[in-house]
Amino acid sequence: MGRSRRALVAVLGSAALALAGALAVPGTAHAANVLSNPGFESGSLSPWSCSGNLGSVVSSPVHGGSKALAGAVTSSDNAQCTQTVSVQPNTAYTLSGWVRGSYVYLGVDGGASTWTSSPSTYSQLKVPFTTGASQTSVKLYVHGWYAQGTYYADDIALDGPGGGNSSDTQAPSAPTNLTSTGKTSSSVSLSWSAASDNVGVTGYDVYSGGNQVLSVSGTSATVGGLSASTAYTFTVKARDAAGNTSAASNSVSVTTSAGSGSGTGFKQAAPYLYLGWGDPPSATSVMSATGIKWYTMAFMLDSGGCNPAWDGSRALTGGVDQSTINQIRSAGGDIVPSFGGWQGSKLGANCSSAGALAGALQKVIDAYSLKAIDMDIENTDEFENEAVQARILTALKTVKANNPGLKTIVTFGTSTTGPTYYGNRLIEQAKSLDAGIDVFTIMPFDFGGGSDMYGNTVNAAEGLKAKLKSTFGWDDATAYSHIGISGMNGLSDQQENTTPAIWTSIRDWANSHHIARLAYWAVNRDRPCAGGGVVSNCSGISQSDWQFTSITAGFTG
């Protein structure tokens, strides 16, 4: 219904502009693109400004040249990107652009617009309009639709005569009171007081040293992709519609936190343990027998109304889960809760917005003073739902910013050669949203691994490394340091057999390539039952008690 209403506004806007044209004969627009950075070939957004800092410049997919705009739509923000330009009064113009995505809009603020749905290829949109009798500037926009996934735009043009910007040569005043409002190991949040201008400020450019790193329309921004324990100096400049740029604000120097993630040493050997079924063993007894220090506790689900509960039914605190966690910590260990899984009522799918999901995650973080959280994104309700992927990533970005030092892990399925379509999509969304994910963990089982579980696991991890390199621009070492492997001991549902010897080889490969995380499903199954099949309390093969956990404990990265 929202899209129908938006289309109606477009029709009414077109009618209003047409009426204005009927009252005064418009001038002729000479074909010249008066937009700045129309194809984003500069590699930065400026002078475009995008809501929620959700816009970014990407190298693929593009329509022309080597760059395009990506708008990482969320359930609460349509990632609208705008540019204000000077125009001549009473003159006909044509706005056009090439777009790709589900429900992408192109239009004039307060006037005409159009939209299309073209998820797999670029499609051209055109919006003719006529300026008002005294109109000298116009704000143009492109945006997606809520919860419909990232859109792309390229080669945007406004054909018509320029507005003679020489009439406004006065630059805005410099922004003041620039300060840092927060930091993590990979990001710095900034805020400042607004600048003023004789006509109007249209945006702000954020600089790190002499390099422009961000363009925003408001008076706050978060700069991501930074290195841990590193000093940065930031300034901000204001600009107006005529392209006049202010002097720089006061500078602020910030040293990012000393993180153990983002390629700076975060290592975690944490096999899954579940308490709701599968004859759960004594966590501390297994710790004593194997040397394991971390467990991934499964699963945190929705008990209704976006409220977290263990397995969706056991209270967040006060039950067997909390007592087990207390025992683990008393024995010198710790836990990372896993949200989601293959089935059940999941918070990512059920919470109505990224903000609501972040609130649910925060309840668990606060209850257990967590150092890390794992989002196990599976099945059609989360992994194969692009809107839910974006919701989860946005929520993780929020809790990471609100909890300095918190490590965020996403776990998802794979093919034998690397991420699937939806795995690639998840990684690309993480980049577009600047979600700051610390570890991308693949699950190399039930993936057609056949008899070569070592070779296919390594091939899948190498495929993930290649995708991380191409998406984030990392080198080999940095990409490996963001990788996790979560296997399945013994027999999988597809009768793939990961033996103790194979798991040892996988662990040794993980150590030699310095990946971030090694886990497996599950400690409950780390018991022998040769010929027992695929069950919840043993591996289905011949092994010794807790053998896979002992092997995993040898992961040091």
Give catalytic residue positions.
Answer: 378
Q: At 102, phi and psi to the nearest 5?
A: -90, 115
Q: CA-CA distance, 151 to 487, in Å (whole number)? A: 34
Are 39 and 161 a contacting pair, CB within 8 Å?
no
Are 35 and 140 a contacting pair, CB within 8 Å?
yes
Are 275 and 201 a contacting pair, CB within 8 Å?
no
Q: CA-CA distance, 532 to 547, in Å (whole number)? A: 17
Residue 346: CA atoms inside 13 Å, Cβ hemisphere, count? Answer: 24
Q: CA-CA distance, 202 to 73, in Å (whole number)? A: 22
| Terminal-to-terminal C-alpha distance of the chain | 51
User: CB-based burial of residue 319 (10 Å sphere; 0-12 exposed, 13-18 middle, 19+ buried)?
Assistant: middle
3-state secondary structure of 475: coil
Are 195 and 268 a contacting pair, CB within 8 Å?
no
* CB within 8 Å of 517: residues ≥ 6 apart: 267, 268, 269, 270, 409, 439, 441, 483, 484, 485, 486
200, 292, 526 from 518: Cα distances, Å: 54, 12, 15
**Tokens standing for residue 416:** 């034998």
Q: CA-CA distance, 227 to 213, in Å (whole number)? A: 14
Q: At 487, phi and psi to the nearest 5?
A: -90, -165
Strands (E) across 132-285 are located at 137-143, 151-159, 176-183, 188-193, 201-208, 211-216, 220-223, 231-240, 252-255, 268-269, 272-274
Please give the biggest Cα pair distance in the chain.
89
* CB within 8 Å of 92: residues ≥ 6 apart: 21, 26, 27, 28, 29, 128, 129, 130, 160
Amino acid (1-letter code) at residue 24 = A
SS (H, E, C) 417-469: CECCHHHHHHHHHHHHCCCCCCEEEEECCCCCCCCCHHHHHHHHHHHHHHHHH
Q: CA-CA distance, 510 to 391, in Å (whole number)? A: 30
Strands (E) across 109-169 are located at 113-130, 137-143, 151-159
* CB within 8 Å of 407: residues ≥ 6 apart: 259, 260, 261, 266, 268, 371, 372, 373, 438, 439
Q: CA-CA distance, 355 to 346, in Å (whole number)? A: 15
